[in-house]
Amino acid sequence: MEQTLMPGEAKPSGIKPKYITILMLVLVAAAVVFWKLQVAPRQKANTYVPKPEQQAPGLGAQVYEQTQNPVAGQVPSTNPFDKPANPIEGSYTNPF
């Protein structure tokens, strides 16, 4: 017996939704494996830059050696523990 279709209705396919889900999971897994094997090693290879053994001093090193500190010894102390921590201590003693 042949099934009648309404206008605009698609013919049902023989593929079950369970098989479509399994196929999609396999495709996603294959894409992840491809990315891990092809793309990820290239990203890691470009991040490492070996340091040279010894570099010649540049202009920055020459300027640093020639600079002097114009305010040496004129900066006030900012250590809060040099002074007493309680400003009221010793100013008033309660007689009771």
Token pair 């279709």 in the structure block, residue: 5
The Cα–Cα gap between 73 and 19 comes to 80
Kindly indicate the confidence band of residue 12, based on its pLDDT and cuts at 50, 70 and 90: low
Q: What is the pLDDT of residues 17-58, one digit of tens each?
A: 888 899 999 999 999 998 888 876 666 555 666 676 766 778
The chain-wide mean pLDDT, for the chain, equals: 78
Rounded alpha-carbon distances, angstroms, from residue 25 to 10, 36, 38, 46: 26, 17, 20, 31
Which pLDDT score is estimated for 66? 84
pLDDT at residue 28 in the model: 96
